[in-house]
Every structure is written in C-alpha cells, then in structure tokens.
Structure 1
Amino acid sequence: MFSLEIILLMAVLGVVFVVFFVSAYIFFVYKWSRPQSYYYKDRPFIFGHRGSPTKATENTIESFEESIKQGVDGLEFDIRLTKDKKIVIFHDSNLQRLLEVDLKIKDLNYSQLKQYFFKDKTRIPLLDEIVPLISKVRAINIEIKSEGTYSGHGVIGPLIKFLNTHNIDHKIVVSSFNPFILWRLKRKRPQTIIGLLYIRKKFFTTWDNMVWMMRLRPDNLHIHYSLLDSWVVRWARKKGMRINSYTINDKKVFDLAKIDGVFTDNIEYLK
C-alpha cells in the first residue's frame, strides 16, 4: 500500500499535469473567435482615434462628426465615470491638459463638468450623445480608461445598461489596457465583443498579457504598430483574434500593415 505522503504527491502531480495539459492546449491548439461583420476583406478597417483630433478637440461630438465627414469606417473614444455615475467621453483622468484646470473627472458631477468648454467652444459629451452617430459608421470602439488594476471598474454597470438599452452589439467593441475590467465585463455580459490593449514594457509584462489573453479569450488584440512583427501577433492570429493597431498616422506603415484595423488621427491621409 502507498503511504499517505505518496498518495498526496501523486494527487498534486496529477493536478499539475492536468493544469499543464489544459494550458498547453489553450496556448497552442485552441482557437477562439466570434464573427465581426464590419471588417473588410481587402483593406484595414479605419477607426478615427478620438474622432478627428486634427479638425476638432479630441473625443467631442464635433470631432466625431468631422471624422464621419472624412469617410471614417468607425469611431474610437475613451470613457470615464463622473462622481454622480455618468459616463462621459474623455481620455485623461484630469482636466489639466485640455482645459488647464487641475480637477479630476471622478471628483466632479456632470452638472459641474459641463460648465467647462474647450478652446473651440466644444465640451465633454455624455456617452448617450454618441447614439445618433452610431448609424453613420460601421463600428465603434469604446475604451474604458483605468489608472490601475482596481481603477475604472465603476463604469461597468452603467456601460452594460447603455449597451442593453440601445441594442448595438453588432457594432460595438469594448477595449481596455486593464484586463481585469474586461474580465469582469465579460462575466457580466458575455456577448460583448472585447479587445485587449497590449503593452510591452518588460519581459514579465509580456507574459502577464499572455496569461490574461488565455484567460479572457479576447476577440481583438489592440497592439502598438511597433510590435506588429512580434510573435505575439502571429500567435494571436492563430487564436482567431482580429488585430487592430494604434496609432498609425503614416501612410507607408498603413500600406504595409497586413492587419484587420488601424486607429488613426489622420483619416484623410490614409483613405
């Protein structure tokens, strides 16, 4: 008969083997993908990065309207949550860069926030204000901003309510640099198409991203254009992920990029 120690060791080794086998299967063999009908077969899909920031202040309704006039395929913008739980379209956590006011979005109610205007007389819009523009583009990428692992999660509930209200899943991708946010969103609303924004600062960051990709099984990989020739992109393609790259403003890079979509500030230049 085996001793208790031997039995426990065999059980542990069995668990390790199963975990290793399943992980290897997911990493090397298993494919995940869901249909996204708005992509083109013969060229990359063009997302207006924060609208058309060369024509109007970024992430404003006016900027989105300008990008549509320029013939953009889809819109990309960032969202944050105000103190009174309103979703606004804004990139930074602080108003300093664009409004020269040292205040944070999360510390202001929307009634306070809408009193501030940019230099071109535009203002920070609510997410609901984008609805009339949805029918004018093929797709919209909503990026959830976050300053850390546990930052930005409050927006998930209001965003789910927005998506459920407007029945626009066929046009929406929700992305973030924070995989934990995407994981929580996918658990609560599994039908949502998600895109993981990939960043590589050091070796362990790369593997952390890989672990999250296997756990999340994102539909899209959003990666910086300088990493388009990396093994990560080749691996993601084998998994069935769509590859979108940020932020491509160079026509030569655009023409050489054999990917599904690009985020750009210069729509007319790439068209």
Structure 2
Amino acid sequence: MAMTAIWAHRGASGYAPENTLPAFELAIAQGADGVEFDVQLSSDGVPVVIHDETLGRTTSGSGAVGEHTLAQLQSLDASAGRSGFEGVHIPTLQEVLEVVAPTSLTVNVELKNSEVDYPGLEEKVLAAIAAFGIEQRVVLSSFNHYSLRRLRDLHAPSQLAVLSNDPLFKPWKYAAQLGATAIHPPVHTIFGRSYVRKATASGVVVRPWVVNADRTLRRMFRYGVDAVITDIPDVALALRAES
C-alpha cells in the first residue's frame, strides 16, 4: 500500500494566513507533499488565490472578489488579523505557481466557481499551469462538476478531481462519468475502509478534506487514502512517520 501523501490545505493554514504566499512557503518548509488552494477571477480577469467569494473574512476589504480589480484586491491586507503577517496580500495564481513550480510538490488547484460563474476561468487556469510546464503534477478540482466536464472537454492534461460536500452514492462511478480519476470528499463521509478499497479498485484515488484531528489522520492512514488535505502538515507528517 502506497504511503498517504500530506497536502497543505490553503497552504500551512494552521500557522499562516490561508492562501497567502507565507502559507505556501511554510508548507514547503514543513515538508508537505502537496499544496491545495482556491482560484477565482478579479473583475479585470486575473486569476487570484482566495477561498471565499467575499472579502470580509480573510481580508481588510468587503464585497465580492469578482467585483474588484486586481489592483484593488492586492491593496488589501490578507493577514486575517494574524499577528506577524500584517500586510500580506491576496496572491495571483501566477505568484503562487512561481513559489511551488520549482518544488516537487503536487499542486491542487480548486476552481472556485460553484457559487459565482467566472467565464473563462478554466482556460486561464490551464494556460497558467502550461506556462510553468507542471501539468503532470497538477490536480484540478471543483465543486462545480459542470466545470470539471468543461475541463475534460478542453482536454486538460492534469488530473481532475470531484469535490463534494455530502455523501455521494458510489462516487467512484460518478467520477468516471465525468472523466475524473479522483474524489475529494469531506472526511466525515468516508464511512469505512471499504469506501477506499472500492474506489481504488475502480482506479479512482481518494483524498479527504479537512483532516486535522490526530485520531482521524491515523484512521485515514490505516484506510490507505491517497492523500489527506490538512491545515497542519507538520503534525500529519509526524503522525504518518509513526504509522
């Protein structure tokens, strides 16, 4: 059984402001096997890395991400009130790829387009990844499964992953219908080892989110999931070493 990979959720977001360059740099420093982050579009069409569709929770701004230009977005403080990180900004996809592309990390780009339609997001993400030549170690995921189908129709060379919030019936079969080879379910919907075995037997890998509790991390390692997506990669790495 292959070793479970450790992916840093929005970077090492347990220690640095989520989806910021310091969070990704820390994930690399801690030895994570991969990073996960979210991409939306500014009003002038630039892919930016931020989770919420609105600005209030993680930045000094307010209103919708997609109603602000890149210049307006990058003028905001994205430290989310975390001491020692004042002044960090919302990064562009380009800036994040500049940090992670020189590493060997797997890069999970979540297209954040399930609540807001960002026309052209798929094409822009594919173009940015291609410019760095890292298509083979990129995973593209979305809760918007029409977007995953669009990526497939665009012949995306990267792996596609189905994100879900709720338990899906035989999600490995559903993933195959979409042309995806991975499922990223919330960890509480993995009800037993057989879930992982059936997915693996179907050629579909399982990467649950967000896995932070020691007991849950250990259980996922026992189940043999392909990766865990966690806010605390250093803790997950230490527990994996004990498993």
Classify the TM-score, shorter chain.
0.7 to 0.9
Distance 1:177 1:247, change over 3 A: same
1:49·1:75 contact (CA, 8 Å) conserved in 2? yes
Aligned-residue sequence identity (percent) comes to 25
CA deviation map 1:178-225 (0-9, x unaligned) = 110010011012422110012226xxxx35967742421311111111
CA distance in 2 between partners of 1:233 and 1:151 (Å): 32
- Cross-structure match for 1:125: 91
Consecutive unaligned residues of structure 2, counting only runs of 5 or more, are 80-84, 238-243
Normalized against structure 2, the TM-score is what? Answer: 0.85
The Cα of 1:100 is off from its aligned counterpart by 4.5
- Cross-structure match for 2:82: none
Match of 2:203 among 212, 220, 240: 240
- Cross-structure match for 1:8: none
CA distance in 2 between partners of 1:126 and 1:266 (Å): 23
* Aligned residue type for 1:245: P
1:72·1:137 contact (CA, 8 Å) conserved in 2? no
Consecutive unaligned residues of structure 1, counting only runs of 5 or more, are 1-40
Normalized against structure 1, the TM-score is what? Answer: 0.77
CA distance in 2 between partners of 1:110 and 1:55 (Å): 26
Q: Secondary structure at the match of 1:151?
A: coil
Q: Secondary structure at the match of 1:125?
A: coil
Distance 1:236 1:144, change over 3 A: same
2:172·2:183 contact (CA, 8 Å) conserved in 1? no
- Equivalent positions of 1:14-29 (< 5 A) are none
CA distance in 1 between partners of 2:198 and 2:117 (Å): 29
Match of 1:164 among 119, 124, 130: 130
- Equivalent positions of 1:127-146 (< 5 A) are 127-132=93-98, 133-146=100-113
Q: Secondary structure at the match of 2:180?
A: coil
Q: Secondary structure at the match of 1:195?
A: strand
Match of 1:86 among 46, 51, 62: 46
Q: Secondary structure at the match of 1:174?
A: strand
2:136·2:157 contact (CA, 8 Å) conserved in 1? no
Distance 1:55 1:137, change over 3 A: farther
Q: Secondary structure at the match of 2:207?
A: strand
CA deviation map 1:69-122 (0-9, x unaligned) = 111111110000111110000000000111253221110110111111134221
2:60·2:76 contact (CA, 8 Å) conserved in 1? no
Distance 1:138 1:95, change over 3 A: same
2:183·2:204 contact (CA, 8 Å) conserved in 1? yes
* Aligned residue type for 1:83: S
Distance 1:244 1:208, change over 3 A: closer
CA distance in 2 between partners of 1:95 and 1:108 (Å): 10
Runs of 4+ in 1 over 4 A off after TM superposition: 207-212, 230-234
Find out whether 1:229 has 2:230 as its counterpart. no
1:61·1:130 contact (CA, 8 Å) conserved in 2? yes
Find out whether 1:147 has 2:114 as its counterpart. yes
The Cα of 1:176 is off from its aligned counterpart by 0.6
Distance 1:209 1:154, change over 3 A: farther
The Cα of 1:143 is off from its aligned counterpart by 0.4
- Cross-structure match for 1:266: 232
Q: Secondary structure at the match of 2:36?
A: strand
CA distance in 1 between partners of 2:210 and 2:29 (Å): 20
Q: Secondary structure at the match of 1:270?
A: helix
* Aligned residue type for 2:204: M
The Cα of 1:269 is off from its aligned counterpart by 1.2
Q: Secondary structure at the match of 1:249?
A: coil
